Amino acid sequence: MSHPVAEERPAVHGDALNLLRAAIAEAAGPAAAAQRVVDVLHDRFPAYDWVGIYWVDGSDLVLGPWTGPQATEHTRIPIGTGVCGAAAASGRTEIVADVDADPRYLACFPSTKSEIVVPIFDGGSVVGEIDVDGSDLHAFDGTDARFLEEIAALLAPLRPRT
């Protein structure tokens, strides 16, 4: 009986993971480390037009570090609202190939055509998420999901403690 070959991670993802591990280790604290993560993701992946981290605060998601062409007006999102809120409520990665076709999408930027939202877990609970917008339709796939899920695991210890 043969076993399927495990899917290889693209080299660019492996390189970015190594860079991010080093950046987190060298950062001046959790907030600086989280900001470095979004900066590296934005700078290294052309499809990642806007990258932000939302942290869970009670029944809301609150925008933490982000980078992109402009700020979003969605700095506080109730869990369960929009694509971000849906991912936080379900604990599942959400890939939206065409934001105009998804009624949950909370419009941020006219240029956004697709979105991926990846929950950040700590102790089995969703404590935050990575939100990435793209200006191309179908900008994200399962490879992005698996990569960003690995990044989410690196981010979990960086969450603000209340």
CATH superfamily placement of domain 11-158? GAF domain (3.30.450.40)
Buried/exposed 127-147: b ≥16 CB within 10 Å, e otherwise: bbbbbbbbbeeebbeeebbeb
Q: Is the pTM of this model over 0.85?
A: yes
Torsion angle of the four alpha carbons 67, 84, 116, 120, in this order, in degrees rounded to the nearest 10: 80
Q: Give the integer Cα–Cα distance in Å for 97 and 82.
A: 15
Per-residue pLDDT of the chain (162 residues; tens, 9 = 90+): 443 334 555 788 888 899 999 999 999 999 999 999 999 999 999 999 999 999 999 999 999 999 999 888 889 999 999 999 999 999 999 999 998 888 787 777 778 899 999 999 998 999 999 999 999 999 999 999 999 999 999 999 999 876
